[in-house]
Amino acid sequence: MYYAEKGWRMRKDPVELRFVVHEHHASHLHYDFRLEMGGIFKSWAIPKGPSMNPADKRLAIMVEDHTLEYGGFEGIIPAGYYGAGAVVIWDEGSYIPAEGGDPEVQLESGRFSFELKGNKLKGGFSITHLKGRGKGNQWLLIKRRDEQANPTFKLEVALTEEKREKLEVKIPLSNGDSAPP
Ligand code: MN
């Protein structure tokens, strides 16, 4: 088990690993998929967004780490700042590494499997680093074929006009966020 291997079984309160998916209405709409590990959020920009359909292989471009505080961010990044535009939380929850072990080590190996417990994203997923020239930061996020899989999944945009009107203009806590082309 993950906690046992980390020697964390002695902790009274096991650390819950968080995930969040930000819907980011930058110059191109994309979804920022973030997994907590090592005290930060590892982050990927997914142009088409995550899918519950195992047939969908979603290109996920690794972007810079974000602070855990940023996980709760919703707002409108003002013009002139990188990633200017509305950001809302599309999904969030917790996750566990599917095969135990240290998520950072597995990610470093180029393939990481995990179980998501979100409102929209549930069950097994894997994220796999693409090899080859020019693919340095390219990964694929794929839903595992399990009971939660949904072959007819269609992503629904979370930002409604009503929601947009409630968002405040905010400068993000972390610096920068690479939007995909
Ligand atoms: Mn983004």
Query: Domain boundaries in the chain?
Result: 2-6+14-166
d(CA 136, ligand 1 centre) in Å = 18
d(CA 76, ligand 1 centre) in Å = 12
| One-character DSSP codes across 46-94 | ETT---S-TT-EEEEEEEEEE-GGGGG--EEEPTTSTT-EEEEEEEEEE
Beta bridge partners of 113: 126
d(CA 82, ligand 1 centre) in Å = 9
d(CA 70, ligand 1 centre) in Å = 12
Q: Which of the 8 DSSP states describes residue 169?
A: B
d(CA 84, ligand 1 centre) in Å = 9
d(CA 96, ligand 1 centre) in Å = 24
d(CA 45, ligand 1 centre) in Å = 6
CB–CB of 46/60 below 8 Å? yes
d(CA 151, ligand 1 centre) in Å = 26
d(CA 44, ligand 1 centre) in Å = 8
φ/ψ region of 55 (left if φ > 0, alpha if ψ in -120 to 50, else beta) reads: alpha
d(CA 31, ligand 1 centre) in Å = 6
Taking the C-alpha atoms of residue 105 and residue 123, their distance in angstroms, rounded to an integer, is 21
d(CA 152, ligand 1 centre) in Å = 26
Helix (H, G, I), strand (E, B) or coil at 29: strand
Model confidence over 81-109: pLDDT tens digits?
Answer: 989 999 999 999 999 998 888 899 999 99
Tell me how far apart the terminal alpha carbons of the chain are, to the nearest angstrom: 39
Q: What are phi and psi of 65, to 5 degrees?
A: -60, 150
Average pLDDT along the chain, 181 residues, taken 10 residues at a time: 50 68 97 97 98 98 95 95 95 92 92 96 97 86 98 97 94 56 34
d(CA 106, ligand 1 centre) in Å = 24
